[in-house]
Amino acid sequence: MKALIFEKSGIENLKISDIKEPTLGPHDVLVKVKMAGVNPIDYFVVNFIPVTPMPHIPGAEIYGEVVKVGDHVKSVNIGDKVVVYNRVFDGKCDMCLQGMEQLCRNGGIISIITNGGFSEYFSVSEHNLVKVEGINDEISASLPVAALTAYHALNTVQVFSKTVVVFGASGNTGQFAVQFAKMMGGYVIAVSNKSWIKEFGADEVVSYDKVEEKVKELTNGRMADIVINSVGSSVWDKSLSVLGLNGKLLFFGGITGSNVSLDLGAIYGKHASLIGTTGGNRKELVELASMAKKLKVKVWKVRKLEDGKEALQDLFNKNRDGRILIKIE
């Protein structure tokens, strides 16, 4: 099968190769990958994060069709359309038993501690698969990372009747955060230079350079109850500046950097909460699959597997206008 592989960290080392098709254990499933999402984690995996095994296949967000099942597989059948829950988990530790498989003490992220899905075929335990019948490829390929990350973050707070400001609203996770915040009953202010995000449920769209004055104006000086920062350090100060009293700042991802300076007085003086989140659990991914027909996704480019290097570089293109996906044929 064809796969994107690197033998040494660095995007310049990423190449298309022919390798052996994965073998299956009795509880494993072979998925023919139809489409894979391109996310910052994939760029960091290729360039910076220590991974295993080596040579390594990146790709954390996987959607495809079941083509072979192990002898003891009961939950899926050949021909089923599925997405891959991208965490390795043991189901036994205290985190798993609390329904937080993404924090499994003995697990990790698929594409970091295992090979990923930038390949024609991918093998995984049946317990990692969620069926997605009747959902288009672009939405399906966006559920396991982009949508799940935003959904889990918003599930950690009470959104109904609250003012929610979303930084990076037109990005991978941002466009889903806008949709979920609106579905949950929030008044949503999207921070973006892209007007199309209004069609995704934003009540207001404001630019980065005017975000503080506009949020103040729109909330009659109260500022935001909830702020979502999916961008990183470049908007950290602005995120705190628009946060109101007793507000909550949710943050995940750091495509623009992860190191920030903290003004502690600006946090405790507002009685603010800083909440870091990562991924989501299996139950949430099942919930997403059931509501997926109500979701939208803005796709900027669909690349071929052979163009994986360019797909990763596209993440930082100043003209990027929506998601980047890899279609595997």
Q: What pTM was estimated for this model as a whole?
A: 0.97
**Dist CA 265 CA 16 (whole Å):** 51
Check the CA dihedral 96-152-159-225 and report its sign.
positive
Count other C-beta atoms under 10 Å from residue 10's C-beta. Answer: 11
81-85, 257-261, 305-309: segment of lowest average pLDDT: 257-261
Q: Compute the average pLDDT of residues 173-181.
A: 98
Q: Please report, as a single letter, which amino acid is at residue 207.
A: S
**Dist CA 147 CA 203 (whole Å):** 20
- pLDDT given for residue 193 in this prediction: 93
Q: Compute the average pLDDT of residues 297-308.
A: 97
- Token couple for 64: 């495809």
Residue 258 has pLDDT above 90, yes or no: no
Q: Compute the average pLDDT of residues 98-102.
A: 98
**Dist CA 101 CA 78 (whole Å):** 26
Cα-based distances in Å from 285 to 87, 209, 282: 12, 35, 5
The model's confidence at residue 271, banded by pLDDT at 50, 70 and 90, is very high
Check the CA dihedral 207-226-172-201 and report its sign.
negative
Per CATH, the number for 147-276 is 3.40.50.720
Among all chains, which residue has been given the structure tokens 């073998």? 23
Domains 2-142+297-327 and 147-276 in one fold: no
**Dist CA 191 CA 170 (whole Å):** 8
Q: Compute the average pLDDT of residues 299-303.
A: 98
Please name the fold of domain 2-142+297-327.
Answer: Quinone Oxidoreductase; Chain A, domain 1 (3.90.180)
DSSP code of residue 114: B
The model's confidence at residue 95, banded by pLDDT at 50, 70 and 90, is very high
- Token couple for 16: 């298309």
- pLDDT given for residue 61 in this prediction: 98
Share of the chain above pLDDT 90, in %: 96
Among all chains, which residue has been given the structure tokens 């390929």? 141
**Dist CA 76 CA 90 (whole Å):** 20
Q: Compute the average pLDDT of residues 219-242.
A: 96
The domain ranges of the chain are: 2-142+297-327, 147-276
Q: Tell me the three state secondary structure of residue 42.
A: helix
Residue 256 has pLDDT above 90, yes or no: no
Residue 329 has pLDDT above 90, yes or no: no
